[in-house]
């Protein structure tokens, strides 16, 4: 009798644990969170639109200082990283755990590359005295100052989201490698992919707003 109860114990606990697993609720919660993030960037886009309308010549002149080649390269990197994270989710659904882990590793590496390129781009601006509060900025028009202020705010906030995404996906990668994420239980992986797609979507808007208006 005791042996039967002991044998049934783990199965009961496992069953109870599975009952608490609700992928739909997890997905809804993630979508609600992403909505608040989209609203945050939407406010920045609205502010940009208002100032662009009032100071268009200054915005267009300031945009010429940005490196369109690096901006385009970073766009390609982020689009590719969105593809690899989507492929990672598909791989896990098919039970290909090692492939999923490898694709997540590629995604994280691309995120790091994006930040490296962005840091070089920022450093080039700093070396030329193009940053809020610099002596060089004092001589520029109000439109140019507003442009660069919004540029650093928007791309800086986006970079913070990139870092958060890297941490998030690193945790997901560890759980994939440890077997805690499986083909039957992969909502955390899916949520990580959704967050990364948000990061990509925001950049798709930032790129033309700042790099392609000149």
Which is it for the CA torsion 83, 122, 154, 27, positive or negative? positive
Q: Residue 21: its pLDDT value, please? A: 56
For 65-78, what is each residue's pLDDT tens digit?
Answer: 999 999 999 999 99
User: What pTM does this model have?
Assistant: 0.86
For 161-182, what is each residue's pLDDT tens digit?
Answer: 999 999 999 999 999 999 999 9
Count other Cβ atoms within 10 Å, centred on residue 24. Answer: 8
Domains of the chain, CATH where assigned: 24-211 (1.20.120.80)
Low-confidence residues in the chain, pLDDT < 50: 1-19
């Amino acid at each position: 009798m005791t042996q039967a109860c002991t044998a049934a114990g783990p199965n009961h606990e496992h069953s109870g644990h599975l009952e608490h697993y609700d992928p739909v609720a997890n997905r809804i919660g993630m979508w609600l969170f992403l909505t608040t993030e989209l609203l945050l960037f939407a406010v920045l886009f609205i502010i940009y639109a208002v100032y662009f309308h009032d100071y268009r010549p200054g915005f267009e002149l300031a945009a010429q200082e940005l490196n369109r080649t690096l901006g385009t390269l970073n766009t390609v990197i982020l689009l590719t990283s969105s593809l690899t994270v989507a492929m990672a989710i598909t791989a896990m659904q098919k039970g290909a755990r090692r492939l999923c882990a490898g694709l997540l590793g590629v995604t994280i590496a691309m995120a790091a590359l994006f930040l490296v390129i962005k840091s070089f781009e920022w450093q080039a601006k700093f070396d030329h005295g193009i940053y809020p509060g610099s002596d060089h900025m004092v001589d520029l028009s109000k439109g140019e100052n507003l442009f660069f202020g919004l540029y650093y705010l928007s791309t800086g906030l986006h970079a913070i989201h990139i870092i958060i995404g890297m941490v998030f996906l690193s945790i997901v990668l560890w759980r994939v490698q440890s077997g805690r994420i499986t083909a039957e239980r992969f909502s955390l992986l899916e949520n990580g992919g959704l967050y990364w797609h948000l990061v990509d979507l925001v950049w798709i808007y930032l790129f033309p707003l700042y790099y392609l208006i000149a």
